[in-house]
Amino acid sequence: MDEMSLASIPLCEKSKAPAAKTTMSVREMQHLLGLGKTESYWLIHKNFFEVIQINDKMRVVISSFEKWYANQIKYHKVNGPPPGEELRKRSYSVVEAAEILSVDTETIYTLIRQGKIKTEIVDFWMRIPRDEFERWYSSQKRLRTAADRERDREIEEQTISVPEMAKLLGITREKVYWILKCKKYCDILVVERVADRPRITKASFALWLKSQSTYQIQAPAKEVPEEVPLKLQRPKSGKYYSFQEIQDFYNISRTTLIKWIRTENIPTIDVGRAKRVRKDVFDDVLRLKRNVEEDT
């Protein structure tokens, strides 16, 4: 064929790009996931992805297969990206939620059982939708992410707590709460909240002191001996106190302990017939009520 003849051949006939593959055989899908024949056909019969008939043979539609793969975490490709890319974008596992809050998984399961966090089941796996997690998180202040805990520490450095203000002025906490609600003072005192507890900014407290003469900082009474700080104890289980451990460690009566649990809304868990209290939660309450020496 001479050069004139070659030139006369249409360009589209000289080189045609192969059409993109849109389906794969059941065997290809089986090898892709490293499955046996029985489990491969089980997936097909569950209608997780689209299957069509071509020449009386079943073919898996690749686009629907990839969508299914991105929304589940049970099956993994032998050679390929990990599953659940889209699923992870819209939801958390219980383990992931626990890591975000720096708590154990039992705490998350307790919140789920209490109906505070709603879940969904994806391929027999429990998942927490991200929007549901954010809804619950914004509704409470006790459990915090690492970023929020860091912000809380920054706020604490610039504020004083209600017990601290009461001690400075030599008044009761109830009187402090009355001052914070008083129309005469509420425009001066700026209140921040950390772990759902009010804290007064140091700058606004200083302005408030100058604006009135009723309350003044009290010098500590010399005749009163300094309270020996309690040392935080480590329970036998590490993360949870038993009621008896709290009573023995801190010389607290059972009546006082039950009262604290109710008034401070301290969550408990059941272990057999006994109840347990998370160490970190109870330690936070103890810091507010007693002079505590931090454990190391």
Q: The domain that contains 111 carries what CATH number?
A: 1.10.10
Structural domain ending residue among the three candidates 58, 83, 108: 83
**Sheet with strand 51-54: strands edge to edge:** 23-25, 57-61, 51-54
Residue 12 lies in a domain: no
Residue whose structure tokens are 């900014």: 201
The answer to whether 140 touches 182, Cβ cutoff 8 Å, is no
Closest Cα to residue 61, out of 21, 27, 100, 11? 21
The 3-state DSSP class for residue 202 equals helix
Say which residues have a Cβ less than 8 Å from residue 141's Cβ, sequence separation at least 6.
193, 194, 195, 196, 197
Token pair listed for 232: 């935080």
pTM: 0.49
Say which residues have a Cβ less than 8 Å from residue 41's Cβ, sequence separation at least 6.
26
Residue 287 lies in a domain: yes
The alpha carbon of 144 is separated from its chain's Cα centroid by a whole number of angstroms, namely 7
Residue whose structure tokens are 């080189």: 15
Query: What are the residue ranges in the chain where pLDDT is below 70?
Result: 1-18, 221-227, 293-296
- The residue range of the domain holding 95 is 88-140
Q: How many residues does the chain have?
A: 296
Task: Say what the pLDDT of residue 17 is.
Answer: 60
Task: Say what the pLDDT of residue 224 is.
Answer: 54
The answer to whether 2 touches 43, Cβ cutoff 8 Å, is no
Residue 7 lies in a domain: no
The answer to whether 165 touches 200, Cβ cutoff 8 Å, is yes
Task: Say what the pLDDT of residue 14 is.
Answer: 52
Residue 24 lies in a domain: yes
β-pairing, 230-231 vs 292-293, is parallel
Residue 5 lies in a domain: no
The CA-based angle 110-116-119, given to 5 degrees, is 85
Structural domain ending residue among the three candidates 59, 83, 107: 83
The count of domains in the chain is: 4
The alpha carbon of 141 is separated from its chain's Cα centroid by a whole number of angstroms, namely 11
Closest Cα to residue 160, out of 184, 191, 117, 129? 191
The 3-state DSSP class for residue 94 equals helix
CA distance 106 to 187: 43
φ, ψ of residue 120 to 5 degrees: the values are: -135, 155
Residue 219 lies in a domain: no
Residues 156 and 206 placed together within one structural domain of the fold: yes
Residues 284 and 237 placed together within one structural domain of the fold: yes
Residues 178 and 134 placed together within one structural domain of the fold: no
Structural domain ending residue among the three candidates 159, 183, 211: 211
